[in-house]
Amino acid sequence: MSQTVLVINSGSSSVKYQLIDPESGHAIAKGLAERIGEPEGHIQHRYSQKAVDLNEPLPDHGVALTEILRLFDEVGPALADADIVAVGHRIVQGGRYFDGPALIDDRVRNLIDELSTLAPLHNPAHLKGIDVARRLLPNVPHVAVFDTAFFQSLPPEAATYALDREIAEKYSVRRYGAHGTSHQYVSKRVSTILGARDLKQIVLHLGNGASASAIVGDKAIDTSMGLTPLEGLVMGTRTGDIDPAVVFHLERVAGMSVDEVDTLFNKKSGLKGLTGDNDMRGVREMAKSGDPEARKRARVALNIYVNRILKYIGSFTAEMGGVDVITFTAGIGENDIDLRREVCEQLVPFGVVLDEEANNQRVSEPITISKRGSSVRVMVVPTNEELAIAKQALTLV
């Protein structure tokens, strides 16, 4: 087996992992431990043709990771033979401290901890994964790869809110962005495929979470997510952009607490709030259903979704002084043919010409879906955040 990287993404009650060969990009084994801390835990481990399910309580991240390592030994591949050269940890918030991957030592660990105020749901969960993994795999370098790092290059006009400067400074309120690992990976692939370094690119990462970025050369100059991943595009369960005064209004007229509004905006809004379903496939089905009310609800939701994307394409194009390539990625971007068509149809007045036949394909490789002669090239490039983390981790070992 060639050199491998173990990529760990630990959430508050879950741990996702992949053992990756960063050279070939092959995921040798992968799995998910979920419902950590609940009475019934579950781990699924996949290796080769095998998928093994384990149903047992996983009281904490320590037990979950110990069980995962045991599954590697029992189901394969044995970690002792896997030539693991690094463990890459996905970290949501790197604040102002990290503009690239970092070798985890006690100082880096403490900075990730300090940044928990900016990502209260994520950084503490990542730390649990880091602490246990460092204990269980002490002889391998552990590397933190930050979702925000790619966006540390944002110029002040994109990174700064028009907020009282002292308050913003004192409480670290600025735009950090998120999904940076994906935006960086996808835009780099586009540059490599087209053999051009100085492109003006817009990347649309449309998954459960969704974000857009404007990239000139290899630097991000703007992005749709802000202090947290709540800002920007419409998402599965998040509002995206919304007048902040809605918070005051709901507090005053509905007596809602800040925590309730937080849950409303992050978990009960977006496609879910508009249609009852957070999953784009469900919304598409609803748009074709026999129930006229449901059909209308879904159609309005889809129009809002597309509209928000168009707002960002328009403003990013103006900010960059043009755009060479627009790229769709992540679950919706890679698979929803209708969504790509709906967005591109609105760009016809700007010279975008979609190649319907190319757009109708479902492929796992990058493709161009605009016609020759289109004013902007439109592409679909599958993202692979785990591979991107593995490759970044490797640069430090």
Interface residues with ligand ADP (CB under 6 A)? Answer: 207-209, 236, 279-281, 284, 330-332, 335-336
Residue closer to ligand ADP by CB (options 109, 284) is 284
Q: Which residues pair with 50 in a beta bridge?
A: 47
Contact 86, 396 (CB under 8 A): yes
Could you give the C-alpha distances from 109 to 34, 142, 177, 225, 370, in angstroms and in order? 24, 11, 21, 25, 45
Least Å distance between CB 272 and ligand ADP? 10
Which tokens go with 294? 């449901």
Which CB sits closer to ligand ADP, 79 or 287? Answer: 287
> Residues near 268 by Cβ (< 8 Å), separated by ≥ 6?
237
Do residues 20 and 387 touch, judged by C-beta distance below 8 A?
yes
Of residues 79 and 271, the one with the C-beta less far from ligand ADP: 271
b/e sequence 141-178, b meaning 16+ C-beta within 10 Å:
bbbbbbbbbbbbbbeeebbeeeeeeeeeeeeebbbbbb
How many C-beta atoms lie closer than 10 Å to residue 102's C-beta?
A: 23
Chain position whose Cβ is nearest to ligand ADP? 331
Tell me whether residue 215 or residue 332 sits nearer to ligand ADP (CB atom).
332
Task: Give, to the nearest 10 degrees, the angle between helix 385-394 and helix 180-194.
Answer: 90
Residues noted as catalytic: 147
Alpha-carbon dihedral angle through residues 111, 112, 114, 118, given to the nearest 10 degrees: 130
Question: Which tokens belong to 381?
Answer: 């490039």
Nearer to ligand ADP, 4 or 181 (CB): 181
Assigned token pair, 166: 């002292």
CB 189 within 8 A of CB 366: yes
CB of 383 to ligand ADP, least distance (A): 7
* Cβ closest to ligand ADP, residue 302 vs residue 320: 302
Return the SS3 of 33.
strand
Residue 42's identity, in one-letter code, is H
Tell me the C-alpha distance between 340 and 344, whole Å.
6
Q: What is the DSSP string of 295-326?
A: HHHHHHHHHHHHHHHHHHHHHHHHHHTS-SEE
216, β-bridge pairs: 200, 219
Q: Which is nearer to ligand ADP, 221 or 343 (CB)?
A: 343
